[in-house]
Amino acid sequence: MTSAPDGAGLYLHVPFCSAICPYCDFAVAVARRERRARFAERLTREIELVRDSFPHAFDTVYFGGGTPSALEARDLERILDAARAGLDVAPDAWLTLEANPEDVTAEAAAAWRALGVGMLSLGVQSFDDSELRFLGRRHRAAEARRAVERARAAGFPNVSLDLIFGLPGQELRAWERTLREAASLEPDHLSCYQLTIHEGTHFGRRRERGKLAELPEEAQAALYEATHRVLGEAGLTAYEVSNFARSPAHRSRHNVKYWNHTPYLGLGPSAHSFDGGRRWWNRRDLGAWEEAIDAGTAPVEGSETLDREALALEAVLLGLRTTDGVDLERLASRCGVRLRERNGAAIARLVADGLLVDRGDRLAPTVRGLAVADALARAFDLAQGAPPP
Ligand code: SF4
């Protein structure tokens, strides 16, 4: 668990994309302008519907998707105004907006900045045009470079790039080229995600027919290692499995809340919420979400209450995905789990294997540990109290 900013996070899911990428597993839809504008109106109604059910003040707002830049700036403004009017959003709340490079005109960038957006997160994915074509992206590398320049010109204090690695057949040198090109643009933040082929996607169907195969694990590991090496040389340090920042101040203030178990409210189709003990999620399908809103009901599809053991497991899983690691005192006070009591031998072994650092009050993964973060978490016995004699 990284050190937690105090306020809750507000996530607003904008489900529209101009076309659906062949690997995409998110709740997304292609829709005309009119439906997109009506979406903004419906999202403001969802804010009214839930306004009394989430008693936390927000200090971050995150427009994610989908492609939030598919909405007009005036629709984003309308949603923000409704959030500020209906929810307890701090006047200086930190705003993040995801955008696709092809949407970043000088005018759009200036309009987002005028709305108060501080972090612009650009879905670049690759600086290799053939990889971009393979991924079904509409932009090319030159457009991504222009988008970064325009973001800089508009004055965003944090410009972040999303990249994808582990494409079938991707060679180390190709990935290093993309990383170097990204680093040369001097972003403040980078997210590097490994390509996952999900069932039900176009890529998933191609894999079923034997037309596409994931990169072998060893090759994936080499690309991940290169990510740390190349970005490290450029002054971008990992703070989470997939996330790198120029300095602690440039970390994603909103996403850090997910890894810290800080409460968050998610609105829009498929969005998840968490209040510290209970999690609930919205209808995923856009039509079903719209229907619920039009009927004046909260579009929640399901929920779960996490008992202390489940909370502890999540806290350890999430904490070991961050370089700040697991805060042992916080784990004990929130979940009643004293990790050292049952795990002395496991901790010593993981430290000796170079996967974990024992900082006394925290257990944190090394870079090698980050690469196997989920397996690290499974090495722990999370039952409460001392081990049986
Ligand atoms: S742009 Fe992103 S959210 Fe939209 S379809 Fe492509 S991968 Fe999915």
Centroid of ligand 1 to alpha carbon of 26 (angstroms): 7
Residue keyed to tokens 């176009």: 202
CB 335, CB 315: distance < 8 Å = yes
* Atom 5 of ligand 1, nearest CA residue: 20
Q: What is the pLDDT of residue 389?
A: 53
How confident is the model at residue 4, as a pLDDT?
43
pTM (predicted TM-score): 0.95
Residue nearest to atom 3 of ligand 1 (CA): 66
- Average pLDDT per run of 10 along the chain, which is 389 residues long? 68 96 94 94 97 94 96 96 97 97 97 98 98 97 98 98 97 98 98 96 96 94 97 97 98 96 97 96 97 97 94 94 96 92 93 96 95 90 65
Residue 388 pLDDT? 52
Give the binding-site residues of ligand 1, using a 6 Å CB cut-off.
17, 20-21, 24, 26, 28, 65-67, 100, 123
Rounded to the nearest angstrom, the distance between the alpha carbon of 136 and the centre of ligand 1 is 9
Are 337 and 331 spatial neighbours (Cβ–Cβ below 8 Å)? yes
Residue nearest to atom 7 of ligand 1 (CA): 24
Question: How far does the centroid of ligand 1 lie from the alpha carbon of residue 67, in Å?
Answer: 7
Query: What per-residue confidence (pLDDT) applies to 86?
Result: 96
> Ligand 1 centre and the CA of 384: distance in Å?
42
Cβ atoms of residues 365 and 355 within 8 Å: yes
**Top mutation candidate among 13, 28, 100, 195 for ligand 1, by most atoms within 8 Å of CB:** 28
* Distance from the alpha carbon of residue 344 to the mean position of ligand 1, in angstroms: 44
Which ligand 1 atom lies nearest to the CA of residue 17? 4
d(CA 38, CA 123): 25
DSSP secondary structure letters along 260-313? HT--EEEESTT-EEE-SSEEEEE-SSHHHHHHHHHTTS--EEEEEE--HHHHHH
Sign (positive/negative) of CA torsion 363, 272, 80, 139?
positive
Question: Going by CA atoms, what residue is nearest to atom 6 of ligand 1?
Answer: 21
* The pLDDT of residue 176: 98
Integer Cα distance of 121 and 105 in angstroms: 14
